Amino acid sequence: MVQRTLTTAPETGRAPEAAASDAQCAIVAPVGEIDAHNAAVFRNALLNAHRRVGGLLVVDLSDVSFIDAAALGAIVGVARELGPAAVALVVPHENLAKIFRICGLDRVLSIFASRPEAREPANGLDRPERGAHDERAV
């Protein structure tokens, strides 16, 4: 199995860079701000990473300084398309974590403080379906 770590700066629209490892997991780590101006590029980067690698999609927001409703919509849209259990978010900073809590997205998305947590158990592939019996599910 191959892991590809993808890093993209949505504001520039640059192509992601990939690195291989030993677990089937796609990691997308945007840098900077994700807002209405670049949310479509961000969404496409998430979907393309998942299409290339399959398995769990880890969205690492460690280097993101700002997200708006368009960015949240991109994440929710991808989670709807792939299934909430196929997406894990890394949100280590309280300012961003608070946004997910206020919107109630912490109840329907898998949110973790670090990449290692997001990839457990078994690289996230056997994570139970979050929100499967919840009317608020994505």
The model's pTM:
0.74
Q: Are 30 and 42 in contact (CB under 8 A)?
A: yes
Q: Which sequence spans correspond to the domains of the chain?
A: 3-124
Q: How confident is the model at residue 23, as a pLDDT?
A: 61
Q: How confident is the model at residue 121, as a pLDDT?
A: 53
- The structural architecture, per CATH, of the domain 3-124 is 2-Layer Sandwich (3.30)
What would the mean pLDDT of 111-138 be, rounded to a whole number?
Answer: 59
Condensed to tens digits (0 to 9), the pLDDT of residues 32-53 reads 999 999 999 999 999 999 999 9
- Distance of alpha carbon 8 from alpha carbon 132, whole angstroms: 31
Which 3 state secondary structure label does DSSP give 96? helix
- Helix, strand, coil shares of the chain as percentages rounded to 5? 35, 20, 40
- Between 117 and 18, whose confidence is greater? 117
Condensed to tens digits (0 to 9), the pLDDT of residues 62-111 reads 999 999 999 999 999 999 999 989 999 999 999 999 999 999 999 999 99
Q: How confident is the model at residue 120, as a pLDDT?
A: 80
- Distance of alpha carbon 100 from alpha carbon 108, whole angstroms: 10
Q: How confident is the model at residue 7, as a pLDDT?
A: 45
Question: Does 134 have pLDDT greater than 60?
Answer: no
Instruction: State the helix-helix crossing angle for 39-53 and 69-82, rounded to 10 degrees.
Output: 20
